[in-house]
Structure 1
Amino acid sequence: MFYISEVIKGDSELDCLVSELDAFQRELYPDESNHCLNFSSVSDNKLRCVIARDKYGVPAGCGALLLQEEGFGEVKRVYIRPEYRGRKLGEQIVTSLESLALENTCHQLRLETGIHQQPAIALYRRCGYVVCEAFPPYIADPLSVFMYKNIQLTL
């Protein structure tokens, strides 16, 4: 069992998880294909972050939502520690980010991930995301996969 809570971008546990993600991605991609968001470069009102914890309160994963203009949001920094993978935690994190997006009147979520992260691509497909062309501020990159999902509040 996991529980997900929102945290501020400077949270020390979030920083630790993001550092683990950065190290993982540095092994897979050259610098020019690593499109990591530096949280300090984003204003507090444009970023929503979550941490997933196990039943003992140990951080198991994280994710972030970058709020953009015109009702768009970008899923960023989704990461699950290896020992917690395969337990549907990714789906829970993505669902949590989608709820935050709806609270912030987003109608479409987009994301960029890498071609060497097939489990992540499969996660996003299971969550209803489809492959698309690169979107601003990105340019096409042979090591990137771009995806989107239209979201709406269901009553």
Structure 2
Amino acid sequence: MNTKIEIIKTTSENADLGSLITALDASLWTRYPELKTNYWRNNIIEFNPNVIIVYLDDKAVACGCFKKYDKNTIELKRMFVSPEARGLGLAKKIILELELWAHKLGFSCSVLETLCKQNEAIGLYQKMGYTIIDNYEPYIGLKNSICMQKQI
């Protein structure tokens, strides 16, 4: 079976991103119902010009983006792969594309936040060279947050 994979650069105005973020939020709130009130304030969708969406046979199945954290650092955001597309290496492809994109824009460091039960994500980030760091704003004091960093 040949599967067509297409990776596109887009913005947060892409309607497919909205659908993927809705699925991401639903999966997080199912896994972490107790955290919804603590984390909802950090779940703001603002315009972002640095978005990647992956299409599998013309269906949007995965996404990720980055935003500027400081003059040298980006923060990876909205990493998600639909359940039916997991195991195909799409998250790794997204991370590599985002890091390359950010590096071309002059950034040298990447940070991210994930939640403590996201064992698959934590393992992937570590395989890709990310190390756990002290929580950064706005995650300071949130014990369920795991923050990570990598030089790109």
TM-score scaled by length of structure 1: 0.87
SS in structure 2 at match of 1:39 = coil
- Which residue number in structure 1 is paired with residue 10 of structure 2? 7
Q: 1:37 to 1:104 in 2, by over 3 A?
A: farther
- Which residue number in structure 2 is paired with residue 67 of structure 1? 68
**CA shift at 1:35, angstroms?**
6.7
Displacement over 6 Å in runs of 4+: none
Of stretches 135-144 and 105-114 in structure 1, the one that deviates more from structure 2 is 135-144
Matched residue type, 1:50: I
Q: 1:127 to 1:109 in 2, by over 3 A?
A: same
Task: Please give the alpha-carbon distance, in whole angstroms, between the structure 2 residues aligned to 1:128 and 1:115.
Answer: 18
Structure 1 gaps of 5+ residues are none
Contact persistence 1:51–1:60 (CA under 8 A): yes
Deviations 1:3-43 (A, max 9, x none): 21111211111100011001111122212045754223x4x
**CA shift at 1:109, angstroms?**
0.2
How well do the aligned residues superpose, as a CA RMSD in angstroms? 1.6
Deviations 1:68-123 (A, max 9, x none): 22211000000000011111111001001101111221111000000111111111
SS in structure 2 at match of 1:69 = coil
Q: 1:81 to 1:9 in 2, by over 3 A?
A: same
SS in structure 2 at match of 1:105 = coil
1:38 aligns with 2:40: no
TM-score scaled by length of structure 2: 0.88
Structure 2 gaps of 5+ residues are none
- Which residue number in structure 1 is paired with residue 26 of structure 2? 23
**CA shift at 1:128, angstroms?**
0.8
Task: Please give the alpha-carbon distance, in whole angstroms, between the structure 2 residues aligned to 1:4 and 1:92.
Answer: 9
Deviations 1:27-72 (A, max 9, x none): 22212045754223x4x4xx41110111x21111000101122211
- Which residue number in structure 1 is paired with residue 93 of structure 2? 92
Task: Please give the alpha-carbon distance, in whole angstroms, between the structure 2 residues aligned to 1:53 and 1:123.
Answer: 21
Q: 1:141 to 1:53 in 2, by over 3 A?
A: same
- Which residue number in structure 1 is paired with residue 117 of structure 2? 116
